[in-house]
Every structure is written in C-alpha cells, then in structure tokens.
Homo-oligomer: A and B are copies of this chain.
Amino acid sequence: MFRKLFTFEEAKKAIEKHFAVKPLGIEEVSLLEAYNRVLAEDVVAPLDIPPFNRSTVDGYAVKSEDTFGADENRPVKLKLCGVVNVGEMPKIKVEHGTAAEIMTGAPIPEGADAVVMAEDTERKNSDIYIYAAVAKDENVMKAGADIKRGETVVKQGQILGAREIGAIAAVGLSKVKVYKIPRVAVLSTGAEITEPGKPLAQGKIYDINAYSLSTAVMESGGKPVYLGVFPDDPNEIEKALRHALTSADIVVTSGGVSVGPKDVIPKTLSFLGKPGVIVCGIATKPGKPTTIAIVEGKPIFALPGHPTSALLIFHLLVRQIIECMAGRKTVEAATIRAFASTRMFPARGRRTFVMVKIKRDESQRFMAEPVPVGLSGAITTLLRADGFIEIPENQQFVDAGEGVTVHLFKNLENIRV
C-alpha cells in the first residue's frame, strides 16, 4: 500500500481516471412525484396548445367580413345561430348573416373567423347588434399559438419546479422520465463510537458523521443508505463494506483512516477488489488521511473521523460526484468576498481550508473570522462556521484585512450577519 500524499487536484484526477462520473440511469415517475427531480429527456409537445382555435373573450363568433363598417352609430344586425360552451365541440356552423354566442375558452365554431366582445354587442331576442367591426382572427387564439406540436417544452437537465411541472401537465403527460437518484451507503467506524439513541458506555461518544453525512447526501440529491456504526474489527468492516457495495452506488465511511494500528479501513479496501485504493492521503488540511478506493466499479470514500473534516472533504470531493450521478449540473457553492479578520497560516505544503464565521465590522463590511477546527470543538465548529476559505499550498499566509473568497455552506440569507 502506497502512502504518498496526493495533491487535491491529483486526487480528483485519480477519481476521474478510474471512475466515469456520469448519470446513473433513467426512470419514469408520476408527474406529481417529479418535484425537484432532474428531467432526463426533452419533453416535446405531442399536440398543439391550445389544441383548437379558441375564443379569448365572452361574445359572439362571427364571419369578420359581416362586421366590416359596423360602429357605435351604425350597428350590423346578425341572427343568433346557437351557443358554444366551454369544453364542448360546437355542432353549429356560422353562416353569413349569423353569429354564435361563445364563452371565453370555447372552440371557434366552423364558419366563424373572429369573435366580437359581448360589450360591443346588444341582443334583442335572437337579433344580435354588432357595434364594432372585428378583423380576421380578432379575439381568437389559434391552435398551437402557445406551443406547437413537436416543440420542446422543458429541456433535459432541468430541475423540475412548479412552472416546469405545470408546463408538462399542459401537454398532457402524467409521467416523466427523470434521472435515478444515486444511493449512497454511509457508515461510521471506531471503537468509541455509539449510535445516538443507545445508552452511552463509559469512555464512548455518540456518532455524528453517519448522521451529518447522510444529510449531506440528501442535500446533494442522493439517497442515503444508513448502515450505522462498526467497531475497528477487520472482519466486521469487511462485511459492512461488502454489504454497502451491494446496497448502494457509492460508499462513504468515516473514521479508521489514520496510520494507527486500528485504522483498518485502508487495509480492508486494499483487498476488497480491483483497482482498490487509488488515493491514500491527500495534501490538505484538514482531510489528510482521506482514502479513496474503487471496488466493483463503485467509489468508496473513506473520510477522516473528525466531523468537520469529514463534512468538508465530502463537500470538496464527494458532493459533485453525487450531483453528477443524479444528473444535476454541479453548482459551485455560493461564495462571498470578505476580509480576513486575522492573519491565517496554511499547513506547510498542504492546501489549507480554514473554517470561518461571517461577521460585519463597524463599517458593515463582511469579515471572515476563523473558527478553530480540532478536537477542541467537534460540534461547535460544525455549527459555528458559515463556510471556509482556501489557502493554496504555496502561499505563506493570508494577512489580516486581506480580501478572501468565502465558500458558504448555505445561502447567505440564512446566515445571520
């Protein structure tokens, strides 16, 4: 097993080399269950919308030339030949000298080519007086005027919201092809780790990572398969990983990846299948022990045990792979520009990610204030940081007052500053 640290970019390239990141597949779902799914093929209108010439007003359907010359002083008189209701196909025909009463949205009857608005008419028994001329097609929405048969209504790749789902319903489809949701197995390891809800024996602590990472999977458009907590036992870990590989498309573990004698994850990964471990440690801080393997064509990300490190590396390396497998365009996390509140040093030779809290200074400028990561604040760091800044390997430091780009964990609107 090699122990050369990869740079962040080398780690990404190694993944790309051994694993073709692409959408997982396509499934058909009911349109009512398609919210927030990603459309897997263009939706093409199978019919004209509207499907027929339609009145846009309440009034009288006429032959337009019968109304020529009509005005307020010299109305044209037509004979009522019937009524056209909404939702019915008209059985009547409008001949010269006649008019059909028509409702908004009803189909234009045969023979008519325009509609006179009710307010421009007067009715006396079956005589209709027309007080305004109409041009051909006036107050008529032609078949296909909104969408033509064969036209693309919503494009492949679109995330489906209220407007897109309404438009797909409009062309008559009740089902829609969307990208499958990748299943991501999540498990934690460590002799001291206990599942929440169980009694806590002395010397043990509760698991954080399987919960935070399962949720991060959902935030990325995947479906977590929660497998729970496993002790540092090679047989148990091997069994758990084999089970994970059969029940999911990606596996994410945390803990058990340092160099200690109990760090069984890298050892187990090295004999589970080919090519096995492709990245064994990355030159970042935090996240150095991160180990990545490909087994049976599925990626396994073994993240560090520290909760903030695990979630950060998930954001940097795993999130985009889940998004891509889910057919989602990878959206870079939102960023804002801020000023460093203090001088910050990178770890020597490692790309350093500093967790920061966003504050405002007295002139209302955004300030990025480091939140210490480390054993001293596993949970408080997780909750207090609004995002992180990245310091390149070759940079000496970020100076106090220097402008920095903060990658936000969530939208700035949800951050109280």
* Interchain CB contact under 8 A, B375 and A141: yes
Any chain B CB within 8 A of the CB of A208? Answer: yes
Against B, the Cβ 8 Å flags (1 = close, 0 = not) of A187-229 are 0001111111100111111111111111110110000101000
Whether the Cβ atoms of A167 and B205 lie closer than 8 Å is: no
Q: B107, A214: Cβ atoms under 8 Å?
A: no
| B-contact bits for A84-95, CB 8 A (1 contact / 0 none) | 011111100000
| Oligomer copy total | 2
Q: Does A58 contact B (CB under 8 A)?
A: yes
B161, B170, B216, B218: which contacts A379 (Cβ < 8 A)?
B170
Instruction: Tell me if A311 is interfacial: C-beta within 8 Å of chain B.
Output: yes
Is the beta-carbon distance between B307 and A226 smaller than 8 angstroms? Answer: no
- Is A3 located at the chain interface by the 8 A CB criterion? no
Give Cα A208 to B163, complex, Å: 9
A377 touches B218 (CB 8 A): no
Q: Does A344 contact B (CB under 8 A)?
A: no
A373 within 8 A of B: no
* Measured CA separation A319–B159 after assembly (Å): 20
Give the chain B neighbours of A404 by CB distance below 8 A.
none
Contact B190 A87 (CB under 8 A): yes
Asked whether A162 lies within 8 Å of B49 as measured between CB atoms, the reply is no
Contacting pair B262 A379 (CB below 8 A): no
Given known contacts A202-B89, A208-B166, A211-B32, A174 and B146 CB-to-CB distance under 8 angstroms = no
Shortest Cβ distance from A337 into chain B, in angstroms?
Answer: 16
Whether the pair A166, B380 counts as a contact (CB closer than 8 A) is no
- Assess whether B203 is in contact with A166, with CB atoms less than 8 Å apart: no
Query: Who on chain B is nearest to A207 by CB?
Result: B169
From B190, B193, B196, contact of A173 by CB (8 A): B196
Q: Which A residues, 82 to 114, have Cβ-Cβ distances below 8 Å to chain B?
A: 85-90, 103-107
A164: interface (CB < 8 Å): yes
Cα distance, A193 to B170, chains bound together (Å): 10
| A63 on the B face (CB < 8 A) | no
Which of B104, B145, B212 is within 8 Å of A162, CB to CB?
A: B212
Complex Cα–Cα for A275 and B279 (A) = 68
Residue from B163, B172, B218, B331 in contact with A409 in the complex, judged by beta carbons closer than 8 Å: B163
A334–B414 Cα gap in the complex (Å)?
Answer: 12
A341 touches B (CB below 8 Å): no
Check: A77 CB closer than 8 A to any chain B CB. no
Tell me if A5 counts as interface (CB < 8 A to partner B): no
User: Is A316 engaged at the interface, CB distance under 8 Å to the other chain?
Assistant: no
For residue A276, CB closer than 8 A to chain B, the reply is no
In the complex, which of the residues A47, A52, A165, A377 has the most CB atoms of chain B within 10 Å of its own CB atom? Answer: A165
Report if A87-B169 is in contact (Cβ < 8 Å); known contacts: A163-B311, A174-B195, A376-B145: no
Residues of B with C-beta under 8 A to A32: 211, 214, 224, 226
Residue in contact with A87 in the complex, picked from B90, B203, B226, B311, CB distance below 8 Å = B203
Q: Is A362 an interface residue when CB atoms closer than 8 A count as contact?
A: no
Q: List 7 A-B contacts (CB under 8 A).
A: A32-B214, A161-B215, A163-B212, A166-B311, A167-B383, A168-B211, A172-B194
